[in-house]
Chain A
Amino acid sequence: MCDGPVIHFENVTKTYQNQSRPALENVTLDVEKGEFVFLVGPSGSGKSTFLRLVLKEERPTDGRIHVAGKDLARLTNWKIPHLRRRIGCVFQDFRLLPSKNVYQNIAFALEVIGKPRRFIRKVVPEVIDLVGLEGKRDRMPDELSGGEQQRVAMARAFVNRPMILLADEPTGNIDPATSIGIMKVLDRINRTGTTVVMATHDAAIVDSMRKRVIELEYGKVVRDQTRGVYGQAY
């Protein structure tokens, strides 16, 4: 069951209510275990819809989606939280809790899924080290730079060792120099065997990483290249 692709889209179409043009149209693609994938395309091309479908925050109008070996159409509402425990998420706006410090923000993700305190005490410092925030565990989010806040968000997304990490424009609010650091952390996470899907506008990053690139335009896959770049295919 887990030998297949971790994300499998088959003729997926998503049309939002009150909209004539589908956000995604007849998309078929596979993402294998351990892959690093860039999702590129202009705003409104369907990148975010793709990520929301993977999380089952939205339901496709048509087509089949399998994530981590599970058919999402047959996943009951009760089981959705269990799916999401296997998927980490990072966003452009970090989404940290302003009233909690670095350690508490990361621990929160484990507390709310009922992990024992001893386990939390052990793994949270490990993941703080992994994202390079040693010595900043007691800082509040407003005492951190944008890049540091995004590292906290990545630590929170990764602390439960998810199978897939979805990143929606993680460098969108961060300057290019700091972005390199963020990409290094994502790469490090990818090397542990976690599949990373990153939606981005940042051409420099895509070009420098030389990973698989899927380009969307008006909801359709117009390019799918291993070791691709941001711009048009040469």
Chain B
Amino acid sequence: MRAQFVFHEVWIGLRRNLTMTIALIVVVAISLSLLGTGLLFVKQVNNTRTYWQGKVQLSVYLCSKTSVSPQCTKNGPVTTTEQATIAQELKSNPAVDKVYFQSQEQNFAQFRQEFSQNQSFVNSVNSGDIPSSFEVKLKNTEADATTVGEAINGVPGVYQIVDDSSVLTKFYKLLDGARNAVVIIAIILIVAAILLVANTIRLSAFNRRRETSIMRLVGASNFYVQLPFLVEGIIAGLFGWLVAAGLLIGVKSLFLDTLQQYFPFNVQLSGTDLFEVIALAMIIGVLLCGATSFLTLRRYLRV
């Protein structure tokens, strides 16, 4: 009885200001999907960070037959003694955590795997072209990368030092910038959504002022008077969320997963990540609409 009555009232309310309801659903959908996209970005960036944190932060490439730097051309490929000196140098540095040696064959295999999506590039490179290297894991990545790099630079047999973090920093900046832009737009839209919810509920309350005044007159409890409006707001929120969920699935599968092809490493977001973001969007959407309707009603439906 009660439920049926409440839903009947809700249906009347939603139908009477259909245009406002549609506007509300659209704004909620867009703001939630933008917020969700921002969250997916955050997760993507975190995934990438975690991937790299377990990896080497500094690669010290050693001279090979084909190396072209002046030092390598002068001295020729790295000798066993030079290699041992470099290893000793690295291990004795206090900022260094661990040092691994990777032979030319190992590096070539890794190269082939990482660029497996680009076969023509892989085919153009021979196993001797990739130099051997010391993969250095630092205790404190960001700060020590430069000092360790400078310390080892110029030691005979060292071809090139590649600081992974300097490459990544630029990449992170790009991702962070995109994420911040998305989140800021999402917040602005959420504010718009809140105002729209308030307005829709106010209109709805105005449309049904006869009903509510009679309800109050015959002694309907506040809860009973307000419930249809509250449910109305929440239902609009849920519809908006449904649309947003669809958009988010689209963003992930069409945009983020496609972007993946351009990365040589696998940091694809899992279904669980997507599910978490969608669930969070639902909670935010329902809370936002419910709370706004409730607060609006407190102002407009005084006893």
A residues contacting B by CB (< 8 A) are 55, 77-78, 80-87, 89, 95, 97, 108-109, 111-114, 116-117, 156-157, 160
Closest-CB distance, B30 to chain A (whole angstroms): 34
> CB-nearest residue of chain A relative to B4?
A117
Give the contacting residue for A114; candidates B2, B210, B213; CB below 8 A.
Answer: B2
Contact of A160 among B5, B215, B218, B221 (CB under 8 A): B218
CB A159 to nearest CB in B, in angstroms, measures 9
Considering the complex, give the chain A residue whose CB is closest to the CB of B8. Answer: A111
Asked if B220 and A81 make an inter-chain contact with CB atoms under 8 angstroms apart, the answer reads yes
Kindly state the separation between the CA atoms of A89 and B218 in the bound complex, as whole angstroms. Answer: 8
Whether B213 contacts A82 by the Cβ 8 Å rule is no
Lowest 5 CB-CB distances: which A-B pairs, in order? A85-B219, A84-B219, A112-B220, A109-B218, A81-B219
Q: Tell me the minimal C-beta distance from A208 to chain B in angstroms.
A: 29
**Contact yes or no, A108 B214, CB < 8 A:** yes
Whether A81 contacts B214 in the complex (CB less than 8 A), given A111-B5, A117-B1, comes out as no
User: Which residues of B in the span 212-266 have a Cβ within 8 Å of any Cβ on A?
Assistant: 213-222, 224-225
List of A residues within 8 angstroms of B1 by Cβ: 111, 114, 116-117
- Find residues 1-43 in chain B having any chain A CB closer than 8 Å to their own CB: 1-2, 5
Q: Which residues of B contact A84 (CB under 8 A)?
A: 216-219
Binding site for A on B (CB under 8 A): 1-2, 5, 210-211, 213-222, 224-225, 303
- A97 touching B210, Cβ below 8 Å: yes
B220 touching A97, Cβ below 8 Å: no
Instruction: State which of B5, B215, B219, B224 has its C-beta within 8 Å of the C-beta of A83.
Output: B219
- Quote the shortest CB–CB distance from A217 to chain B (angstroms): 28
User: Would A112 and B218 count as touching, CB distance under 8 A?
Assistant: yes
A117: chain B residues at CB < 8 Å are 1
Question: A111-B5, A114-B2, A117-B1 are contacts. A97–B211 as well, Cβ < 8 Å?
Answer: yes
Q: Chain A contacts of B224 at CB under 8 A?
A: 112-114
What's the Cα separation between A163 and B224 when bound, in Å?
A: 23
- The CA of A156 and the CA of B218, in the complex, are separated in Å by 9
Q: What are some 6 contacts across the A-B interface (CB < 8 A)?
A: A78-B222, A81-B219, A85-B219, A114-B1, A157-B218, A160-B219
B212 CB to closest chain A CB, in angstroms? 10
B213 touches A112 (CB 8 A): no
Q: Please tell me if the beta carbons of B219 and A82 are within 8 angstroms of each other in the complex.
A: yes
**How many angstroms between the C-alpha atoms of A77 and B213 in the bound complex?**
16
Please name all residues of chain B whose beta carbon is closer than 8 Å to the beta carbon of A86 when the two chains form the complex. 219
Contact status B221-A81, CB under 8 Å: yes
Residue of B nearest to A117 (CB): B1
Q: Of A97, A108, A111, A113, which is within 8 A of B219 by CB? A: A113
The residues of B that contact A95 with a CB separation of less than 8 Å are: 210, 213-214, 217
How long is the Cα–Cα vector from A156 to B220 in the complex, in angstroms?
14
Q: In the assembled complex, which residues on chain B have CB atoms less than 8 Å from the CB atom of A112?
A: 5, 214-215, 218, 220, 224-225
Q: What B residues does A78 contact at CB under 8 A?
A: 221-222
In the assembled complex, which residues on chain A have CB atoms less than 8 Å from the CB atom of B225?
112
Q: Which residues of B contact A89 (CB under 8 A)?
A: 217-218
Minimum CB–CB distance from A167 to chain B (whole Å) comes to 13
Nearest CB in chain B: distance from A140 CB, A: 15
A116: nearest chain-B partner, CB-CB? B1
Q: Tell me, rounded to whole Å, the shortest Cβ–Cβ distance linking A223 to chain B.
A: 29
Complexed CA–CA distance, A109 and B5 (Å): 12
Shortest C-beta distance, A89 to chain B (Å), equals 5
B303 near A80: Cβ-Cβ < 8 Å: yes
Q: Is the CB of B303 within 8 A of A77?
A: yes
Neighbouring B residues of A113 by C-beta, 8 Å:
218-221, 224
CB distance from A221 to the nearest CB of B (A): 26
A80–B222 alpha-carbon span in the complex (Å)? 9
Enumerate chain A residues within 8 angstroms of B5, measured Cβ to Cβ. Answer: 111-112
- A55 cross-chain contacts in B, Cβ below 8 A: 217
A136–B210 Cα gap in the complex (Å)?
Answer: 23
Give the shortest distance, in Å, between A127 (CB) and chain B (any CB).
Answer: 13
Q: Distance in Å from the Cβ of B274 to the closest Cβ of chain A?
A: 42
Docked CA distance A109–B216 (Å): 10
**How close is A79's CB to chain B, nearest CB, in angstroms?**
10
Give 10 A-B pairs besides A89-B218, A111-B5, A113-B219 with Cβ atoms closer than 8 angstroms.
Answer: A81-B216, A81-B219, A86-B219, A95-B213, A97-B214, A108-B211, A114-B2, A156-B218, A157-B218, A160-B219
**CB of A74, distance to nearest CB on chain B (Å):** 16
Set of chain B residues within 8 Å of A157, measured between Cβ atoms: 218
- Of B210, B216, B219, B303, chain A has the most CB atoms within 10 Å of the CB of B219
CB distance from B279 to the nearest CB of A (A): 34
Closest to A83 in B: B219
Set of chain A residues within 8 Å of B211, measured between Cβ atoms: 97, 108
| A82 to B216 Cα, complex, angstroms | 10
Inter-chain contacts of B219 with A (CB < 8 A): 81-87, 113, 160
Q: Chain B nearest CB: distance from A97 CB in Å?
A: 6
Contact (Cβ within 8 A) B210 A85:
no
